[in-house]
Structure formats: structure tokens, C-alpha cells
Amino acid sequence: MSKETVKKEKILIIGSGPIKIGQACEFDYSGTQACKALKDKGYEVILINSNPATIMTDPNVADHVYIEPLSTEYIEAIIKKDKPTKVVPTLGGQTALNLALELHQKGILEKYGVELLGATPEVIEAAEDREKFNAILDKVGAKYAKSYMVRTLKEGEEAIADLDFPVILRPNFTLGGGGGGVAYSLEEYRQKVANALHESPTSEVLVEQSLLGWKEFELEVMRDRLGTFVVICSIENIDPCGVHTGDSITVAPQQSLSDKAYQEMRDEAKKITEEVGVQTGGANIQFAVNPANGDRIVIEMNPRVSRSSALASKATGFPIAKIAAQLAVGATLDEITNDITGETPSCYEPALDYVVTKIPKFAFEKFHGSKDELSTQMKSVGEVMGIGRTFKESFGKAYRSLEVGSIFREDRIFFKDKISYPNSQRMTHIFQSLRAGISVDDLYHWTKITPWFLEQFKEMVDVEKELNSDLEKNYLKAKRFGFSDEDVKILLTKNHEKIKELSSKYKPTFFQVDTCAGEFASETPYLYSTFWSEVESGLKSQDKETVVVIGSGPNRIGQGIEFDYSCVRAVKKLRQMGYRVVMINSNPETVSTDYDTADVLFFEPLDKESILRIFDAVSPLGVLCQLGGQTPISLSKDISEAGYNIIGTPLDMIDLAEDRARFSKLCEKLDCKVPSSSVVVNYDEALEFASKAGYPVICRPSYVIGGRRMEIVEDKESLFKYFETNREVFGEGNPCFIDQFLEGGLEVDVDLIRFKDGCFIGGIVEHIEVAGVHSGDSMGVFPPQRLKKETQAEIERISVLLAENMGVLGLMNIQMAIKNDEIFIIEANPRASRTIPFIAKAMGVSLVDFAVEAMMGLKMPESLKSFRWDSIKTVAVKGVVFPFKKFPETDSILGPEMKSTGESMGRGENFPEALLKAFQGSDFKIPKEGEVFLSLREKDKKELLPVAQKLSELGFSLTGTKGTAEYFVEKGLDCEVVNKVLEGRPHCVDRIRSGKVNLVVNTTAGRQSINASYSIRRSCTDFSVPCLTESEAAKAYVLALTENKSGHVRVEPLTLTL
């Protein structure tokens, strides 16, 4: 057969869906790599993923991209339509593995003759099912933590006879670990077993040998079909067992095991991988090692690409996912050339001549009420990686990458419990305690962190003092420990001017991540800086002009994968345009930090010093700051002041957008409305403003830390209370921003591209929830469903006017609120936005590519001039994913502070279909029948009457709190009254917790009623009952419910229009 006549074989890749805690953009990285690898191998690649913010769902990454909910129904529809013969389930996290298992169990794979690659159902079960896995461990002679399922007090006595204290008690089916805990003595154990048995609805408690204080390690391994086995990376957790590995600070390669201990671990990993039955691909195995005697225990195994494998890929330069995909279709490690060296084969274990440190990034401040405590439930929202020659250099650089300020400051106040009980602030308290003279021995006693690491921290603290005694002599040492010049400056009591001089005297060298510790020559420019060399790096380009793209740093709530999407697209476009593109980023989970995304990759902190040092080395034509979200925007002043060219919108206009007063003035000049606002220092001034502007008003401190203390105030009394509660916060120097709040207003996001010769409107996304919910947390629809055409035209006119007058070149996102057909500008950001990938994919227009052309000074292409965003035939809805389940004490009510971690996209022929898919895509349950409990605030009752009527019509039974129920009964509906919590038991929360309720609609306002209804929402979160807290969202949800009843499952791949 000639090549032309061979029909391409089709492979389906399952993605991991919206970004959530524990499953984030590392799977975009692995999925994107895999798609590329399989396309290169000649396969026709089909992809399903509900997450529009990813690179992998870019229409040109796979051959057919489906942004559809990740459920077997939709996957079956795709299989039916496109007829793939193989499915790769190992690259989309646990979501994809579970789906694969479900497809198998439902007989779908068999029905269509589809083969699972990489992991069979047996392998997935062997690794997931604790009993099966333990049997495998027994077989290979590996140890595991002993555990017993206890159902009675007597069984409890039997179990403890065979275990050593401390033991962990895990009651079955209680959420957030309620009723569980650690027992350190028999007495404590007996009492806790009794309590735990009581708390567990099934009266089952898992009693497990505690590994608290054991050292924790991870091996990232790969295997091919011939059985060649390699360890790609060994990772050591600084935090000992007890903290989820995703929340631990980790180091690669492992530092504290002898070769003997390490090789034994390696042997065991090999045996387990083989025995579990992993045929090809990557896996990760976690171990605990007793520091007292070296005993080793297997914690768990994942027979798939994982979060750690993304980290391992970035730490070593070994592209695990790419190679896993190649292995899955039959290649062997020895056949695949090592990309980085370009000559040696991929059957090798990377050798590192540097150290990497990963530090997780947390967002506890966003979740009021949740305790900042780390345990076995992962809570971090992102991570950074620092590469340095030594541990200290890598740790220092990683810490700088967190963007949380310096750890090196003259602060000696520490709390012992913040050291002995793991929490997100532990590292700063450890540093502070070392400064206060606490010994490594004490710290070891409190934390069980391997002393070797504690000593490294101590050395870092010691150099702080030395800097003040002799700067000249110790400057280089501090740099080698990862200190930035800013860190040095903070520490110095005098001599600040000297730093500049020393800074220009000592320059970093850029070394390569080459997978082989220098043994073989390598051309791949994957670089990191170090002060451990004096060699000049010679990174100036010989032939092409250099453009730098600054990434977005660690994922956090409000700045996530969508900005990586924009960066990656821009890098590709710039490379196409013939530039040599330099990427700088510190986030190991991303596609942008793949070594083959840009021409040169610098894995570096995104701080002033790091980026300027890179610019000095590469002499760029200019720097793109518009794509990586707020991080590069914040750096633009430093970049400009250092004499480098910011490509696109000039610095002054970036400043204008950030400066509320200047911005308001401009709006005024352009005859555009902005909500009236003021800056006040006390209640009296606030009252004066509010009386003029009218209630409600929105209040927040001028220094907003993640939107904390931001509140919508409904009346005079609440305003007084707000100032009473926050008395400590406000005063001269710390004023309160107070804005008119456009209650009931409709909010929109507008994205546009301004070329030097005109503007292109990317589109208008209409928020589903009304004003008051953060734009990142509200669902959105494209094109708008409620706005009048004239209003849309006016929105476009204002947007263009603003862009022209701000001298924007490239992207701008504008948020507006519309009330009674009046348009108010809320804010304008001259940069890429969260909605860019969503709109781009909904329309099939590569907005970022065009934006890059605009920034680089090209004219608007003809194709854009004739294109209208509202010409699209489909409707797209953005769904949102929240992490409330992970934060046991937190209220799920939405407000002006963003809390979501990820988004989904639903595409449909009409609004209800798109809505349904958006809800499904973000794991929102859609019940087909059952009870709906409603508790509504006064003004929503009438508003939501049609919703209640529709629900009743659809066959749902209604219950409600007294006021709500009475209103509905009066309107002729059946609605049973249920007690509020304060009215005595059984109350509505009992009802929810007992599983009787299938849907909750709970709208509320004002601090007091919000607090009173907290337990309703919390019980919904705990028991996975869908809970709607906003009237427009409730209306939309009922549309989706109705659509769901129809039973249609339609799938449609993305198309590229422009």
C-alpha cells in the first residue's frame, strides 16, 4: 500500500476538564504534548476537554477538538461520530482515568471496538483499589501502612493490638474528615474510635498506622512495551508525611538518601510498576521512609501522567507526556531520540547538575473561615519552581517566584504552632524562628523536617546578618543563596547605594537544563540563571531580532491558565513572524515552560531583577507585557525605566488604566459614565457619599488583599456596622474606597484589539449573574442573550472610543455594567483577559495572533475588517468551578471577591443547550427529579416565581422556608414549609444532610442574613447538592434542567474561522 492510500488511524485523547485544586494546568501541558506527539506519529487526533482556557483545546493542537462535558454520554457521541479506534486515558489526570473505567464498565469501548492505550481497566483498578494494590505490594515484598476497617468497638480493640501509636482514624463517608483524627495513646484511641463510629453514617472507621514525621519521596518512572524502565526524576518532600504532596515544598533530585537506600527504592518502584501491569507510559510512586531506621513504605501509585510528572519534566528536561504518548502507540524508549541532546536515546535517566525546588501557592485568604492548615487534602491553587545550582539558590529563587514578597526580612516573631502544625505560612515562621535563635534541633523536633534542609535554611538566615556586617564580602554569597537585590536592600540598614555597584559587578551566568549534567553537548536553550559561575553566556542573537514574552507566574485565583494560553499563542505567532522569541516564566505546570514552545526558555522568577538580567543577556527588540495577566503589567514600569521597549500599549496608558482617578477623569472627558466613587476615611464621610450616590454601595480598603473586606452595603445601618467592624482598618493613610453599586445591573466583558489603523471588537460576553458577583465567578454567555442590539452597538462604540483615547495597541478588556440601558464603565485593562480564549474558541478566531500583529505595528488585516463577532451561529456559555469542598468552613455564596479556580465551556445551537453543557462541564449536577428547597430574600420571590412554577411543571416537589413557601402557596403552588435552622429541628439543613433535597435555591443579602443561611449552603457543598445563590443563575439553571429533560446529546468540533 502506498502511503497516500493509508487512512490515518484515529486516536481519542481525554482531557482533564476545568482547573481545580489537585488537577490543574499540568494536564494541559501533558495533553498538548501528547496531541503534538501523536499527530507527528501520523495519527488523526481527536480531543475532548470541557476547558476552553487550555492550549490543548486550541483548534490546531489536535485534528478535531471537542469542547464538550467530560461524561461518557458525550464521549460516546464522539466515538460514534468520529470512530476512533484507540483512546488514551493516561494524560487527563484522574478524571480521564475514571472516565476510561466507566466507558469500559458501561461496555462502550467494547461496543465500538475501541482499545484503551497506556492503561487497561485492570491496571487502573489495581492502582486504585486498596486491597488489590496491597496484594501486589505483598507479592513484590513491599511494605505498606497497616490499616483496619473497624465497625465495632471490639474490632477497634483488635485493630489497635496490631498497630503502633500514633494511628490515624478516618471515619467513612464523613466530609472534611469530620470525626477523625490522630490518636497518640490507648485512652485517646478508645474515646476517638467511639466518637468516629458515631460520626460515620455507615459506622465504619479506617484505623491506619500513622506515618507522621516520616520522610516522603516520589519517583517518576517510565516503562516501554519491551520492559525498559527508567526513573525520570526522584523528588524529596521537605514537608514530611502528613501534608499532601501537592501542598509540600519539594526538591529534585532527592537529597538525603544514600545510594543504597535510593537504589532499593528504585528496585521496588520497578517491581511495582511491572506487577501493577503498566505496559507503557509514565507512573508515579510515593514512598515514606522512617528517618529513625530507614524502613520504607509505599504510600500510593498513579499509573498515569500526574502533577508530579509535569514538575519532573520541567525539572529534568525529559518530556514525560510526549514520550508516554509515543510509547502508548508502540514506540520504545531506545528508538526515541532525546530532544535535548539531539543525539542520545531516551532510554536513560536524567542526570541533574542543579537543584529544583517547587513551592505551592495557597489562597486561604480568599476563603474566609477556612483554617490555614495543611493535611492530606490538597489545598494549594498553584505552584512555582526555582532552578539553582544549589538547594539554597533554587529555594531562594522559588520563593521569589511566589510573588508574595521577600522571606529575608528582619522579622524574628514566630509562633511555635505555626511551625509545628503544617500551614501555608510555615516557611516564614521557620525563617523567623531561626533569626530568633531557635536551634535546628528544636526545629527538627517540632517539624520532623530532615535536618539537612533546616541547616540549609539556617545558612540562608546567617548570611542575612553577614550582609550587614560586610556587604562587599558577602554580596556574592547572598546571590548564590538565591537572594535578589531587592531582598538584600530590605535587609540592609545602610549602604543601599552600594548594591547597584555590586549588582553590575556580579552578573549571573545562564546554564542549560540539558538532561545529562553536561556529559553531552546540547543545543536546546532551556536556561536558568546562577551566580555560581563567572562565565559569560553569549545569548545575543546573531541573525534574528529578539522579542521577550513574560508569562504569568504561578496559578492563583484570578490569574490562571487562560493567560498561559495567550502567552503560548503569542509565542507561536511571533516565531511565525520570524522573531527569535524568549519566554520567561516560573510555573512548571504550563505549556509556556515547555522547552520547545519558545526559541529560548528562561525558567526564572518574574521579578524585576531576574527579568532585567535576562534582557541584558538577550538584548531584546522589545517586551510583550500584555499577555501574562497582572504579573507582567506590574513589571512594566521597571522594564520601561530600565530602558527597554514595551511592545504595544505604552506604559503611561497602562498606568492610566491602573490609576482610578486618572481613569475616571478620562471617562468623564469622553462623556462615558463610571459608577460614582469616593475615597473616605470614616463613617461620616462614607455616609455623606452614600446619601448622595444612593444605596447599595460597595466598600473596600484601598490596599485590597485578594478582595478581602470588600462588601456590598445595602443601607445606612449596614454602612455603620461595616465601619464598626473594620474600625482597625481605616484611617488617614488607609482610606476606604466607596463606589456606587449598580444593583441588578447586567455586566459584560468586552475584548478588543486595537491596530494602529483601527479597532476590532473581539466580542461581548454577557454575565449571567447580575452585578455584584466577580466577573471571574459569574457564568457568561456569548453572544449576549438579554442585551438589546442598540445597547450592544453603544457598548462597542464606547469601547472603541476608550481604546483610541488610551492609545491602546493590542489587547484591551473592558468591563461594563448596564442598568436601565445606561452603560457604566467599571474598569479597563490594556491586556489579555480571562475571556480571550473563551471568545477565541467560541468564534474560531485566533484573537491573540491578531493582537500580536497589532502590537508589532501591523495594519488591521482585511479579513478582520469584514468579520463581525456577532455573526456566529452557535451560543457559548462559560461555566465556573469552585473549590469550596476543599475548604470545610467556607461559605459558597458568591460576591465581589473571586473564588473560582477554573471554567468550562458549553457550546450549543441555542442558549439552553449551551447552558446545560456549561453546567455539566463544570461538574454541576443536573437532577431529573426530586425535591427543590427554596429560601429566597424578599425581592427575589416575585422574580423567581416563574422558576418555581417551571420546576413544579417539570415534576419537582417544592419545599421552602416559611416566607418563601407561603408566597408560593399563595401563588397556587404546592410548597411544603421547612424550618429554618433557628426555628428548631428537623430543619432545612437536616433535610439537605439526609439526602432528601436535590436542588437548593438560596438567595440572600446583608451580612446578617448571609451568616444565618451559611449552614444551608455549606451542607449543599458537603453533600454535593447543587445550590444556586443568585436569581439569574437560578433562571439559567432551570433552562438547563428543561433542556436536559429533552435528552439530546449533540457534539460539534471547534472550527477555525479566521
Among the listed ranges 152-160, 265-273, 285-293, 426-434, the one in contact with another protein (CB under 8 A) is: 265-273
Among the listed ranges 351-359, 594-602, 615-623, 933-941, the one in contact with another protein (CB under 8 A) is: 351-359
Cell of 487: 531582598
Site for another protein in 484-513 (CB under 8 A): 511
What's phi and psi for 175, nearest 5 deg?
-100, 150
Among the listed ranges 257-265, 280-288, 914-922, 955-963, the one in contact with another protein (CB under 8 A) is: 257-265
Q: Does 333 bind another protein (CB under 8 A)?
A: yes
Cell of 625: 507585557
Q: How far is the CB of 271 from another protein (least distance, A)?
A: 11
**Among 154, 260, 669, 789, which residue interacts with another protein (rule: CB under 8 A)?**
260
Q: What is the rounded distance in angstroms from the CA atom of residue 324 to the CA atom of residue 304?
A: 9
**Among 352, 427, 914, 988, which residue interacts with another protein (rule: CB under 8 A)?**
352
Q: How far is the CB of 604 from another protein (least distance, A)?
A: 17
**Among 38, 78, 159, 257, which residue interacts with another protein (rule: CB under 8 A)?**
257
| β-pairing verdict for 997-1002 and 976-977 | unpaired
**Among 30, 57, 120, 234, which residue interacts with another protein (rule: CB under 8 A)?**
234
Q: What is the rounded distance in angstroms from the CA atom of residue 220 to the CA atom of residue 287?
A: 11
What's phi and psi for 390, nearest 5 deg?
-115, 170
Q: What is the rounded distance in angstroms from the CA atom of residue 615 to the CA atom of residue 3?
A: 47
Q: Does 455 bind another protein (CB under 8 A)?
A: yes
Counting other chains too, the contacts that 790-797 makes at CB distance below 8 Å and 24 or more residues apart are 791/818, 791/821, 791/823, 792/764, 792/870, 794/823, 795/748, 795/750, 795/764, 795/823, 796/750, 796/761, 796/764
Structural contact between residues 749 and 737, judged by C-beta atoms closer than 8 angstroms:
no
**Among 18, 31, 180, 350, which residue interacts with another protein (rule: CB under 8 A)?**
350
Q: What is the rounded distance in angstroms from the CA atom of residue 115 to the CA atom of residue 88?
A: 9
Judged by CB, which is closer to another protein: 160, or 449? 449
Structural contact between residues 234 and 254, judged by C-beta atoms closer than 8 angstroms:
yes
Structural contact between residues 101 and 82, judged by C-beta atoms closer than 8 angstroms:
no
Total chain residues near another protein (CB under 8 A) = 53
Residues 6 or more apart whose Cβ sits within 8 Å of residue 929: 955, 956, 998
- Crossing angle between the packed helical segments 451-469 and 471-480, to the nearest 10 degrees: 150
Among the listed ranges 451-459, 667-675, 715-723, 804-812, the one in contact with another protein (CB under 8 A) is: 451-459
Judged by CB, which is closer to another protein: 267, or 757? 267
Task: Annotate each residue in 396-435 with x if it binds another protein (CB under 8 A) or - if it does not, as one string.
Answer: ----------------------------------------
Judged by CB, which is closer to another protein: 263, or 871? 263
Q: How far is the CB of 335 from another protein (least distance, A)?
A: 10
Task: Annotate each residue in 529-548 with x if it binds another protein (CB under 8 A) or - if it does not, as one string.
Answer: ---xxxx-------------
Q: How far is the CB of 419 from another protein (least distance, A)?
A: 19
Structural contact between residues 765 and 878, judged by C-beta atoms closer than 8 angstroms:
yes
Judged by CB, which is closer to another protein: 536, or 715? 536
Whose cell is 497582572? That residue is 630
Q: What is the rounded distance in angstroms from the CA atom of residue 526 to the CA atom of residue 515?
A: 10
Q: How far is the CB of 445 from another protein (least distance, A)?
A: 13
Q: Does 351 bind another protein (CB under 8 A)?
A: yes
**Among 60, 263, 1011, 1024, which residue interacts with another protein (rule: CB under 8 A)?**
263
The enclosing H or E element of 47 equals strand 44-48
Q: What is the rounded distance in angstroms from the CA atom of residue 701 to the CA atom of residue 722?
A: 11
Cell of 765: 460576553
Judged by CB, which is closer to another protein: 439, or 1008? 439
| β-pairing verdict for 600-603 and 580-585 | parallel
One-character DSSP codes across 539-550:
---SSSPEEEEE
Among the listed ranges 317-325, 352-360, 566-574, 970-978, the one in contact with another protein (CB under 8 A) is: 352-360
- What does DSSP assign to residue 351? B
Judged by CB, which is closer to another protein: 177, or 525? 525
Task: Annotate each residue in 353-392 with x if it binds another protein (CB under 8 A) or - if it does not, as one string.
Answer: xxx---------------------------------xxx-
The CA radius of gyration of the chain, in Å to the nearest whole number, is 29
| β-pairing verdict for 86-88 and 115-116 | parallel
Cell of 1041: 434542567
Q: What is the rounded distance in angstroms from the CA atom of residue 837 to the CA atom of residue 561?
A: 10
Judged by CB, which is closer to another protein: 150, or 219? 219
Judged by CB, which is closer to another protein: 234, or 309? 234
Among the listed ranges 404-412, 516-524, 619-627, 968-976, the one in contact with another protein (CB under 8 A) is: 516-524
Site for another protein in 172-231 (CB under 8 A): 226-230
Q: What is the rounded distance in angstroms from the CA atom of residue 753 to the CA atom of residue 758?
A: 9
End-to-end alpha carbon distance in the chain: 36
Q: What is the rounded distance in angstroms from the CA atom of residue 193 to the CA atom of residue 152?
A: 9
**SS3 call for 785:** coil
One-character DSSP codes across 521-562:
-----EEEEESS---------SSSPEEEEE---S-BTTB-HH
Q: How far is the CB of 252 from another protein (least distance, A)?
A: 10
Q: Does 28 bind another protein (CB under 8 A)?
A: no
Longest dimension (CA), the chain: 86
CA atoms within 13 A on the CB side of 1040: 24
Site for another protein in 843-862 (CB under 8 A): none
Q: With helix as H, strand as E and coil as C, how does 963-1026 read?
A: HHHHHHHHCCCCCEECECHHHCCCEHHHHHHCCCEEEEEECCCCHHHHHHCHHHHHHHHHCCCC
Q: How far is the CB of 346 from another protein (least distance, A)?
A: 9
- Crossing angle between the packed helical segments 683-693 and 716-725, to the nearest 10 degrees: 150
**Among 516, 591, 770, 1027, which residue interacts with another protein (rule: CB under 8 A)?**
516
**Among 266, 304, 358, 834, which residue interacts with another protein (rule: CB under 8 A)?**
266
Judged by CB, which is closer to another protein: 343, or 652? 343
Judged by CB, which is closer to another protein: 165, or 262? 262
What's phi and psi for 19, nearest 5 deg?
-70, 125
Judged by CB, which is closer to another protein: 335, or 373? 335
Q: How far is the CB of 315 from another protein (least distance, A)?
A: 12
Q: How far is the CB of 589 from another protein (least distance, A)?
A: 24
Q: How far is the CB of 389 from another protein (least distance, A)?
A: 6
Site for another protein in 268-307 (CB under 8 A): 270
Judged by CB, which is closer to another protein: 390, or 799? 390
**Among 31, 59, 118, 253, which residue interacts with another protein (rule: CB under 8 A)?**
253
Q: Which residues bind another protein (CB under 8 A)?
A: 226-230, 234, 253-260, 262-263, 266-267, 270, 332-334, 344-345, 347-355, 389-391, 440, 451-452, 455, 458-459, 511, 516-521, 532-535
